[in-house]
Amino acid sequence: MSEQTPTLLVLGTGGTIAGSTASATGGSYCAGELSLESMLGDVAMLGLEAELVAKPIAQIGSQDMGWEVWDALHKEISAAQNDPEIDGILVTHGTDTAEETAYLLDLTLAARKPVVLVGAMRPAGAVGADGMRNFANAVRVASDPEASGRGPLLVMGDMVFAAKDVRKSATSNIDAFKGYPRGPIARVTPSSLDWFGGATRTGEPARFDWPGELPRVAILHAGAGMDESCVNALLGIGCKGIVLAGMGQGNAPRCVLDALSRAVKDGVPVVRSSRVDEGLVDRNVEVDDEAYGFIAARALGPAKARILLMVLIANGVSDAGDIQAAFDRG
């Protein structure tokens, strides 16, 4: 990091932080409607101690996030990591899939310069809009030398979360994010930043190569009374892997588990995660993973389990033991 005013690359993808609303008290708004240049024009009035270099990537709600934007983000961040003129990278992002983007980047980037994702729960113009405060907080984090060596981070609600831990846990609350199994790793305001521990990944290389594409992996949400037809449907559309968002400790009706086991025998890896918000999914507790051939997701929820399984398959990892070891690491 430079000793002078830091230079931060700002990659814009849209989301609520770039959203607009016709009514300050209304509930509806359009995500990703404001351009990155317009948003940074408002940011300029905050007097932040950083030089911001804007690079628009997309103007979408993050429900539409996918391969093309991910690929562009990865290329831009990788180039910035190697650019001596750039001290850190900010990514403005919608909150619905921020945890997935953060974790995908975490798996495929070296832990070097700060990479900070930031969003908002309320659009610009709404009463109590949080976007500018979150952005100011993100600038403070990305400008701090101690943010290096931690992998991608997400800043929301005056808290800093590691990509591996963060998840969205509420639909519309300002404090919609939390970390599991760890909580936040720092507290931040526009004028202060307090880390709860030191960086543990300094100099760590990327765990996996960035793939040329990502395979189709589906999340199957378990529910009472379901049958094996949904498993057959997913296999019928060419899924290369399946993540079960199971009941409790990753459970499902016996007929569904049997159908998933047949998929494993046909070369389709199956990961058991939980539809419950917190808790580990351990091996061989209620479900005999050894007999069925399943992988236990451990601390990863369904969304992140899908990301990891896609990256593993894309990198040619097919052995069940190796896949389980990757999930054990998280």
**Which tens digits make up the pLDDT trace of 46-71?**
889 899 999 999 999 999 999 999 99
Instruction: Name the CATH architecture for the domain at 217-329.
Output: 3-Layer(aba) Sandwich (3.40)
Say what angle helices 254-265 and 229-236 make with each other, to 10 degrees: 30
- pLDDT confidence bin for 125, thresholds 50/70/90: confident
Q: Please tell me the predicted confidence (pLDDT) of residue 111.
A: 96
Name the nearest CA neighbour of 53 among 17, 90, 82. 90
How confident is the prediction for the chain on average, in pLDDT? 94
Q: Is the pLDDT of residue 22 over 70?
A: no
Q: Is the pLDDT of residue 194 over 60?
A: yes
Environment class of 212 (CB within 10 Å of its CB; exposed 0-12, middle 13-18, buried 19+): exposed
CB atoms within 10 A of CB 267: 9
Q: Please tell me the predicted confidence (pLDDT) of residue 26.
A: 65
Q: Please tell me the predicted confidence (pLDDT) of residue 13.
A: 96
Mean pLDDT over 233-244 rounds to 98
Is residue 119 within 8 A of residue 218, CB to CB? The reply is: no
Residue range(s) occupied by CATH 3.40.50.40 in the chain:
217-329
Give yes or no for a cis peptide into 302 (omega within 30° of 0). Answer: no
Residue range(s) occupied by CATH 3.40.50.1170 in the chain:
7-195
- pLDDT confidence bin for 44, thresholds 50/70/90: confident
Is residue 312 within 8 A of residue 325, CB to CB? The reply is: no
Instruction: Kindly provide the b/e burial profile for residues 308-323, where b requires at least 16 CB atoms within 10 angstroms of the residue's own CB.
Output: bbbbbbbbebeebeeb
Q: Is the pLDDT of residue 308 over 90?
A: yes
Instruction: Kindly provide the b/e burial profile for residues 214-247, where b requires at least 16 CB atoms within 10 angstroms of the residue's own CB.
Output: beebbbbebeeeeebebbeebbeeebbbbbbbbb
Q: Please tell me the predicted confidence (pLDDT) of residue 2.
A: 46
Mean pLDDT over 120-125 rounds to 86
User: Which residue numbers belong to the known binding site?
Assistant: 62, 95-96
Q: Is the pLDDT of residue 40 over 90?
A: no
The DSSP H or E segment spanning 250 is none
Q: Quick one: tokens of 42? A: 């408002």
Residue 21: active-site member:
no
Q: Out of 3.40.50.1170, 3.90.1170.50, 3.40.50.9100, 1.10.3720.10, which CATH number does the structure's domain 7-195 have?
A: 3.40.50.1170
Q: Please tell me the predicted confidence (pLDDT) of residue 24.
A: 67
Name the nearest CA neighbour of 11 among 88, 115, 90. 90
Alpha-carbon distance of 292 to 289, in angstroms, equals 5
Q: Quick one: tokens of 66? A: 């996918």
- pLDDT confidence bin for 3, thresholds 50/70/90: low
280 Cβ neighbours under 8 A, 6+ residues apart: 181, 298, 299
Q: Is the pLDDT of residue 216 over 90?
A: yes
Q: Please tell me the predicted confidence (pLDDT) of residue 39.
A: 84
Alpha-carbon distance of 131 to 139, in angstroms, equals 12
Q: Which has the minimum average pLDDT: 63-67, 120-124, 166-170, 209-213?
A: 120-124
Q: Is the pLDDT of residue 25 over 70?
A: no
Q: Please tell me the predicted confidence (pLDDT) of residue 287.
A: 97
Q: Which has the minimum average pLDDT: 1-15, 61-75, 231-245, 280-294?
A: 1-15
pTM: 0.95
User: Regarding predicted confidence, which is higher, 243 or 174?
Assistant: 243
Q: Is the pLDDT of residue 20 over 80?
A: no
Residue from 5, 7, 13, 16 carrying the catalytic annotation? 16
